[in-house]
Structure 1
Amino acid sequence: MKHKRDYYYDINRRFLSIIGQWPYQKPKARLFFLAFTLMFLFNSLVTQIAYMFLCKDMECIFQTLPTYFLIFNTVVKVLTYRLKSRTIKDLTDHLFADWDVLETRKEECEILEKYAEKGRRYVLIYSTYLYVTAISFASTSLWPRIMDAIFPLNTSRPIMLIWQAYYFVDEEKYYNYIFCDTLIILMICLAALIAHDTMFFIYIEHVCGLFAVIGFRFTHLIYKRDIAKKRQIEYPNDLYYEHIVFSIHAHRKALRFAKLIQNVFSKSFAIQLIINTITISVSLLQVSHLHLNDLAEMIRYFIYIIAQLFHLFCFSFQGQKLINHSLETRDKIYNSAWYEMPVRDQKLLLLVMRKSIEASTITACKIYVFSFQNFTMVLQSAMSYFMMLASFSE
């Protein structure tokens, strides 16, 4: 069982280890990698703030804000795991313990494996998309150099950095060093983003798997699988009671797991949501002010906007998935053969159904609930802020 568990979570372990946030990493190694990550991130923030002081108008400042918010957002994600390290370890301990509990239950273990495989697939898709987007974004800064080599002019085209920053040196002379520095920061930033976000995906997929296992137990509460056929059997009353109590405890454990996820990410998500909304609005404003001859800049902003929307959609998708799975438990109980049980045991089922009426959610400070419906609301808010900023900039 351990080798399966390692297979499903090996990608997350590597990304979290890079930024010093893997719960089972040695303390000295964690501290070293965390300090290394924060050093580069704060270095980027300093150079971007320095560039803001050189700006003479709001348009110049708006050019810096999107990537500045990206780095700041990454710092928030890294510190979230650091400040909530004890709760993160509890979550991971519970996650690994559930695999050991279900080791002897083949069908339930298969359900958990299916959700773990989905989580691993989401991690691969998410990390691949971010790296492809980042490479595409960074490569646009090489466009002037490429054009100088293919279609040289009397004078060199203006240099373009990966993002707007001031390094206190001659940018033309030290362009290669500056490009390498910003590229390293971008890669570290991506590792931190992927480590934080994909581990959240893994936690959500796991708790959804727990709800699916619980639903399976209630659905098959009075059925026994036979090699040749399925046939309904009547258990003794005490065995009914034992199965129901066991399932109730498992349901409470899943609810506690979902609550732990909420406690870890709630405040962090509130900050990230505000940053994402402002970033999308500012990026749209910059695109509206670009001319057709600024093709490279326009491509950069479109890539960035799409990445922000994809980032927010992934969180909304996971939040909606948790809502759906937590509510499905009551439906599975109702569709089971509960009428075959003794009245005493039917009353126990009401306890679970009562808990299942209220959906488990992931919120931003209990104000914003991550779901598909609220995802569209954020897009509308971003468009509203964009229109307001556009009116001020006229």
Structure 2
Amino acid sequence: MINISNQLNLNRKIFLAIGLWPYQKSKFAQFYSICCFSILATFIIFQLTTFVTSKCTIDLVIQILSPTSAFISTLVVYYSFYNNSETVKYLIEQLQRICDNIKDKNEILIIERYANHAKRYTIMLITVAVYGISCVMGVQLWPTFCDIILSAKVTRPQYWLKMEYFIDEERYFYVSLLHTNVALIIASLTTIGTGALIIVYFQYACAMFQIASYRLEQAIQIYTVQGVILLNEKMIYKKIVCAIDIHRKAMMFTDQIISTFQMLLMILLISTVIVLSLNFYCALKAASLGYIKDFFTPSLIGSACLLFLFLCCFVVQQVTDENEHIFVTAYKIRWYLTSVRIQTLILFLLQRGNKPYGLYIGKLFPISLQFFATISNTSVSYCAVMYSVGW
């Protein structure tokens, strides 16, 4: 028997760390969620308050908005998952109900294989996040390490982001540094946790489509013993119905994921283009001027955003490919050797394959690897335009 809770153990720990686990609804958990949200919100506010104390120029606007836009997107994601916690919980329970009806050993192996794929994606995201956070913290804490351990005087660096706390920066340096790093950790965990859970959903959807193909293949087994002998027609009919049923459940499941987060996806689509364009521009300008210290932050944010976008598009592309594989399987099997009743049933399945299937953002933009290439090219184009006009 498949236990979804055990397979989501790593995802559960990440969600608990940021107060978004839907099964944890105590007063303390709600207070903890408010604290995490407030830290992210105040972190964004203290970046925007730089406009109050500094002269507003195009360079300053781009320099502040390039990281701030990424954190605003994270804040929107946090609120969306908190607000849709019941739907997140329902999707997990729906997966459990589907898995409870799977008894075949080969089908269980298919589920476990895709569950392991989802776990590897999660571990990869955690590894990248730990590496990025370690680099940022290492740069900030290096002067303190040299001063205390090596007894060497090293100039304390400025913040890796432009911030304005309206306090004595020298005296309260470590207080502001703590707030910055905690906000960075929460933002990273929010991105990893929510993204990894969406990947888990789609990996299970891939498993369901794969099971549908497997059931269809098993339904039409041809044994040649001095001629063609078909399996029991009633058993074949039942297996085809089971294949169509789990295919229908998989499509409904994926459509529900997209419909639940439709508004969030539209916002992220716009913000992703903004984040990539601004950060690529800042990194390009810093590299052209030889400002290595200004190159680090935008390149890190831009690379992380690009990696996350590619991973999401790649996983959704897998869902589309697995769905198409069902109809390829239906064409390949020797359905013409079956009875007219079964041929009619398979014909309905083949007709469904004539309609293009995809997961759309706002019913306009199909999520796929081509969509990733389009977003990347659009962001690079905007970056090139900003650089050419001399901003």
Task: Give me the TM-score of the superposition, normalised by structure 1.
Answer: 0.90
Q: Contact 1:326/1:359 (CA < 8 Å) preserved in 2?
A: no
Distance 1:140 1:294, change over 3 A: farther
In 1, are the aligned partners of 2:36 and 2:186 still within 8 Å (CA)? yes
**2:74 counterpart residue number:** 74
Give the match for residue 173 of structure 1: 171
The correspondence for 1:214, drawn from 212, 215, 230, is: 212
1:36 and 1:380 mapped to 2: Cα distance?
A: 38
- Which residue, 315, 320, 332 being the options, matches 2:317? 320
Task: Determine whether 1:331 maps to 2:350.
Answer: no
After superposition, the C-alpha distances for 1:10-66 in whole angstroms (9 at most, x for unaligned) are 011111223332232235354223212111111112111111333312212212112
Unaligned runs of 5+ in 2: none
Contact 1:327–1:358 (8 Å) recurs in 2: no
Aligned counterparts of 1:160 and 1:346: Cα–Cα separation in 2: 72
Closer, same or farther: CA 364–134 of 1 in aligned 2, 3 Å:
farther
The corresponding residue for 1:343 is 340
| Alpha-carbon offset, residue 142 of structure 1 | 4.4
Deviations 1:81-100 (A, max 9, x none): 12323322221111111221
Contact kept, 8 Å, 2:285 with 2:387, in 1: the verdict is: no
Q: Which moved more, 1:109-118 or 1:304-313?
A: 304-313
Does 1:300 pair with 2:297?
A: yes
**Worse overlay, 85-94 or 174-183:** 85-94
**Identity, % of aligned positions:** 24
Letter aligned with residue 91 of structure 1: L
Give how far 1:323 is off.
Answer: 1.2
Residue 198 (structure 1) aligns with: 196
Residue 189 of structure 1: aligned partner: 187
- Number of the residue aligned with 2:99: 99
Structure 2 counterpart of 1:351, one-letter code: F
Contact 2:221 2:231 in 1 (8 A): no
Offset of residue 8 of structure 1: 1.8
Change (3 A) 1:62 1:265: same
Q: Deviations over 1:352-375 (max 9, x none)?
A: 222233454333222222211121
Mapped to 2, the partners of 1:54 and 1:88 lie a distance apart of 42
2:189 partner SS: helix
- TM (norm. structure 2) is 0.90
The DSSP-based 3-state class of the residue aligned with 1:184 is helix
Matched ranges for 1:248-327 at <5 A:
248-290=244-286, 294-327=291-324
The structure 1 residue matched to 2:162, chosen from 161, 164, 167, is: 164
Shift of 1:101: 1.1
> How far apart, in 2, do the equivalents of 1:283 and 1:95 lie?
38
Q: CA deviation at 1:208?
A: 0.4
Distance 1:19 1:176 in 2: 23
Quote the Cα distance in structure 1 between the aligned partners of 2:264 and 2:228: 49
Q: Deviations over 1:201-245 (max 9, x none)?
A: 0000000000000000001113399xxxxx986333222222222
| Separation of aligned partners in 1, 2:18 and 2:28 | 10
Matched, 1:241 2:237: yes
Which amino acid in 2 is paired with 1:315? Answer: C
Equivalents in 1 of 2:380, 2:146: separation in Å?
Answer: 35
Cα gap change, 1:253/1:166 in structure 2, threshold over 3 Å: closer, same or farther?
same
Decide whether the 8 Å contact of 1:224 with 1:232 is kept in 2: yes
* Equivalent residue number for residue 83 of structure 2: 83
Across the two proteins, how many residue pairs are aligned to each other?
385
- Tell me the amino acid that sits aligned with residue 294 of structure 2: E
The answer as to whether partners of 1:148 and 1:157 remain within 8 angstroms in 2 is no
Q: Match for residue 120 of structure 1? A: 119
TM-superposed CA distance for 1:253, in Å, is: 0.9
Rounded to whole Å, the distance in 2 between the matches of 1:152 and 1:251 is: 65
SS at match of 2:358: coil
Greater shift in the superposed pair: 161-170 or 24-33: 24-33
- In structure 2, the CA distance between the partners of 1:390 and 1:147, relative to structure 1 (3 Å rule), is farther
* Match status 1:31 vs 2:30: yes
Could you tell me how far apart the structure 1 residues matched to 2:58 and 2:146 are?
30
Q: Structure 1 residues 151, 391: CA separation in 2 closer, same or farther (over 3 Å shift)?
A: farther
Q: Conserved in 2, the CA contact under 8 Å of 1:21 and 1:82?
A: yes
Matched position secondary structure for 2:20: coil
Contact in 2 for aligned 1:211/1:251 (Cα 8 Å) = yes
User: Which stretches in structure 1 are left out of the alignment for 5+ residues?
Assistant: 226-230
Corresponding residue SS for 1:290? helix
Q: Which amino acid aligns with 1:105?
A: D
CA-atom RMSD, angstroms? 2.5
Instruction: Flag the 1:238–1:39 CA change in 2: closer, same or farther, 3 A.
Output: same
CA displacement at 1:71 relative to structure 2 = 1.5
Whichever residue aligns with residue 322 of structure 2, its letter is H
